[in-house]
Chain A
Amino acid sequence: MQKYGISAGQIIGMMFWTIMGTAVISLPVTIGLHAPRDAWAAAVLFTIGGMALGLIVGALANRFPRKDFVVYTQQVLGTFIGKLLILVFLVWLFHTIGLVLWQITNFVKLSLLPETPIAPIMAIVLLPSAYVVYDGIEGIARSSQVVFLPTVIILFFLYLLLIPDVNLQNLLPVFEDGAANILRSSITPLAWAGEIMFLIFLAPSINKINKTAKYSIITMALIGFGGFIGELFYTGVFGLLRQHVSNPFYSLIRYIKPTAFIERYDILFVTINLLGNFVKLSVFLYVFVLCLSQWLGMKSHRPLVLPSSVALLFSTQYFVSSPNELVLFLDNVFPLYTIPLLYGFPSLVLLVAVIRGIKG
């Protein structure tokens, strides 16, 4: 049967929501803690960091076309160090998927289902992703492509409705927060931007593999633009108050004035958020299951989907105990080990490969 691979549109659809999915929920909070007025600057730094990593990913994909990252890492760094680093990455990934799942579930619970216990919500959030991961990369790519355009259009539409509430005076004076605070606020977003390195696991299925760098730069530009607009709106609407808002976008949508037809627009936001995070969870889970199966030397990733999903459902409930704790964790601890891992790991592999002159 003919293999279709992943096209440019599908990659952008996938990676956009892979990074944007939880970024929309959590990043504005952590940015707002440090630089409420110049939050947009964090979006710019975020884009630059992501693009730089995109170049590294592209170089790796060019160097080892049609070869899996897990395989050539062991070839480049040696079997033992390679396996060990992949294992570290797998542990990080498992924990991060748990955090992602917890963020989505908590958001759904707070916004729509306050009386439902958290475990069943978690199960229905994870169910479609587990199904699509079982189907494989083509299924993920196609459903992401279907989801991408409508969600982005709705997002754009919601921003349009908010324009009357924006007060650009809130942004002034520019750079009042100080360079140190701006840099501090962009650390967590940089950890998020590191997720663009997931492209390296998907690269063997990409149709035009030599354009991987280009794709990641386009994706980062799109996300950066979205984040930039978003931060402008948060500050424009809330001003310095945004330091105290725990769900900025959700509160933002509630600012939209009711029309005759729809009383409240927040349900639209919850919808696109669930759709977008479906993409995010699918890509994360796929990379985890694929990586694990290759690490274990299995031929197919399919037998691992069900056990991994069940393990996630059980362990996620112990990863986080409260939303405030999560914000503090994401702000202070998460970037400390995520940035070295996501940026350092591919860079190390590339560096050693260049020094040792290994090509795929």
Chain B
Amino acid sequence: MFKHIFRKNKSESNKAAQAVQREKFSKDLDENIKCVQEVLAKCCDLESRPIRIGRDRQIRAHIFFLDGMVDSGFMAANVLKPLMLLDPGDTGGPKLDDEILNSLLPAGTVDIVKSPNILVSRILSGSIAMIIEGRESAFAIEAIGWQERAVEESQTETVVKGARSGFVENIRVNRSLIRRMIRYPDLKFERLNLGRITNTEVNIAYIDGIVMEGLVEEIKRRIAKIDIDGVANFGMLQEMIDDSTFSIFHQSYSTERPDRACSCLLEGRALILMDNFPFVVVVPSAITHFFQSAEDYSSKYVVASFDRLLRFVGLNITVLLPGLYVAIFSYHHEMIPTELLKSISQAREQLPFPIFLEMLVLELSLEVLREAGVRLPRPVGQAVSIVGALVIGQAAVAARLVSPPSIIIVALTAIASFTIPIPEGSDAHRLLRFPVLLAAGAFGLPGIITAWLMLLVHLAGMRSFGVPYLSPISPFFLSDWKDFLVRVPSSFMKKRPIQTAKTNIRRQGSWKRGGK
């Protein structure tokens, strides 16, 4: 059966190829028009009109464009008007092409296209196509005029102090946002296309001379290997270029902030930009990214270090606290002081469920609430959170189904999971607390230690584009610790991360800081 399906797919793609079989234009204008129209048949947004070039209306031509993709005002002023008002004396001869290309069209990008295939793809990406009679070529005039979102503040990575602009869907705007911050000729953007059908533009951005050796080639190799009809989200791209596909962690991370993207470029990392998505993917990534936020660099180093340590604690609370709570109260009562044990045991008197089941149900309902809160429209979401808080918080305690200490633990876990600044990290750790909880329920503390060790081993064996995920903890690099769990003052961070910038380590010269 599967064979049959595959065969069918193959024949379909062959058919598509046959439709665009014309590799070259003919001299006959009508035949060329027919060729384009055949390929774009049944596309109601295709607009086409015949025009005549020159005041004497000698030369027939035909233009195509997609409605909504091009700026019609721009087209009228900069394409139609100059051509229609052309002097009769200039219209003859083979020089017309050069004339049009070099001096007649006041548009930024004008190309002569030799094949109908390319012409169609240009039409589909927002160009005006013009075919002139008697020529085996056509003009593609770029006149993009679709609606798009303005550069706005980033939604996922908000800061109190810092740049406000965030990436948008348009890859050109994103490029310009990066270029504006790094005005350096060695900042390169290399273009690739991804997806047989969507033909999505993908850019690799890096700074030549700083970027990790071999990284760009490796990214290109991995992206070129992908054979897919279309990439619906940048998360798919991230998954497809990961080193360990089955890991719970992404081995790259995405950011919406140009300033963060630029600092990654300066560290020797590379960015992958993808058209239609307001995020860029940063590779390689490491465990350090779980603790770094853009905010850290605008606040004083002491405050930033404190915040990072808080995030570290928050991460550990997220993963371990529910498990520890269950382990201690079902296996190791003797560990905690008697008074505390007494008060919690009193709260747990007459409860019907064992503590493990209670925590499992509470954690799962928290996840349900969170998921519902994210999916529902904003006004309804508020209602859900009120119901959730009242029903689960108050009523469940009043009905003696769960104990108040358990609710405190669950709430603490939920809040702690939001301290991790990147969504890739917080999502993974949110899920990891369930295996820990199960291990704790089955084996108590040894179970938690086993679960923790499994996580450690997993992280120790993982690499992101060849860079060990656990660096700088192991392999140990002291200078990278300056920007890890604590942040030292900026003037002390004289080196780039060693792993990514092996050849070009120094980022600051030997200068005397401040008033010295």
Contact = CB atoms under 8 A, between A and B. Distances in A.
Do A and B come from the same complex? yes
Contacts of A128: 450, 453-454, 456-457
A315 interface: no
B446 A142 contact: no
A9 B473 CA distance: 11
Given A112-B444, A274-B449, A127 B454 contact: yes
A138 B335 contact: no
A1 B462 CA distance: 13
A206 to B, nearest CB: 13
Interface string B316-351: 000000000000000110111110000000000000
Contacts of B449: 271, 274-275
Interface stretch (A254-262, A283-291, A349-357): A254-262
A119 interface: no
A263 B338 contact: yes
A128 B338 CA distance: 34
A10 B443 CA distance: 30
Please tell me the size bucket of the interface on B: 20 to 34
A271 B445 contact: yes
B9 interface: no
Contacts of A112: 331-332, 444-446
Contacts of A336: none
Interface stretch (A26-34, A129-137, A239-247): A129-137
Secondary structure type dominating chain B contacts: helix
B463 interface: yes
Contacts of B456: 128, 143, 146-147
B335 A267 contact: yes
Contacts of B337: 258, 260-263
Interface string A55-77: 00000000000000000000000
A267 B463 CA distance: 33
A122 to B, nearest CB: 11
A124 B446 contact: yes
Contacts of A271: 445, 449
Nearest to A104: B446
A359 interface: no
A121 B442 CA distance: 10
Contacts of A138: 460-461, 468
A125 B454 CA distance: 11
A145 interface: yes
B450 A127 contact: yes
Contacts of B439: 124
Contacts of B453: 128, 143, 275, 278
B461 A132 contact: yes
B447 interface: yes
Contacts of B335: 262-264, 267
Given A112-B331, A112-B332, A132 B476 contact: no
Interface string A143-181: 101110000000000000000000000000000000000
Nearest to B214: A2
Contacts of B129: none
B457 A263 contact: no
A7 interface: yes
A113 interface: yes
Contact of B474 (A135, A142, A258, A263): A142
A264 B334 contact: yes
B446 A108 contact: yes
Contacts of A258: 337
Contacts of A142: 460-461, 468, 470, 474-475
Contacts of A337: none
A145 B476 CA distance: 8
Interface in B444-499: 444-447, 449-450, 453-454, 456-458, 460-461, 463, 466, 468, 470, 473-476
Contacts of A143: 453, 456-457, 460, 474
Contact of A113 (B338, B444, B476): B444
A132 B459 CA distance: 10
B450 A135 contact: no
Given A113-B331, A146-B470, A262-B335, A1 B463 contact: yes
Given A4-B468, A261-B337, A263-B336, A120 B460 contact: no
Nearest to B455: A128
Contacts of B473: 145-146
A1 B466 contact: yes
Contact of A125 (B336, B450, B468, B475): B450
B334 A139 contact: no
A321 interface: no
A289 B358 CA distance: 42
A7 B476 contact: yes
Nearest to A8: B476
Contacts of A275: 449, 453
A270 interface: yes
A121 B443 contact: yes
A234 to B, nearest CB: 23
A116 interface: yes
Contacts of B334: 263-264
A10 B473 CA distance: 11
A7 B443 contact: no
Nearest to A267: B335
Contact of B443 (A116, A135, A264): A116
B120 to A, nearest CB: 42
Nearest to A133: B457
A98 B236 CA distance: 45
A262 B328 CA distance: 12
A267 B445 contact: yes
Nearest to A147: B456
A174 B324 CA distance: 45
A107 to B, nearest CB: 10
Interface in B238-281: none
B475 A4 contact: yes
A113 B446 contact: yes
B445 A139 contact: no
A264 B332 CA distance: 10
A124 to B, nearest CB: 4
A120 B439 CA distance: 12
Nearest to A6: B475
A4 B471 CA distance: 11
A146 B471 CA distance: 10
A152 B298 CA distance: 36
Contacts of B475: 4, 7, 10, 142, 145
Given A108-B446, A113-B443, A125-B446, 18 more contacts: A10-B475, A112-B331, A113-B444, A116-B443, A124-B447, A132-B457, A136-B461, A138-B461, A138-B468, A139-B461, A143-B453, A143-B456, A147-B456, A261-B337, A262-B335, A271-B449, A274-B450, A275-B449
Interface of A: 1-2, 4, 7, 9-10, 108, 112-113, 116, 120-121, 124-125, 127-128, 131-132, 135-136, 138-139, 141-143, 145-147, 258, 260-264, 267, 270-271, 274-275, 278
Please list the 6 inter-chain residue pairs (A to B) with the smallest Cβ-Cβ separation, ordered nearest first. A128-B453, A135-B461, A142-B460, A145-B474, A142-B474, A139-B461
12 contacts: A127-B450, A128-B450, A128-B454, A131-B457, A131-B458, A132-B461, A139-B461, A143-B453, A145-B476, A146-B473, A262-B336, A263-B337
Interface of B: 331-332, 334-338, 439, 443-447, 449-450, 453-454, 456-458, 460-461, 463, 466, 468, 470, 473-476
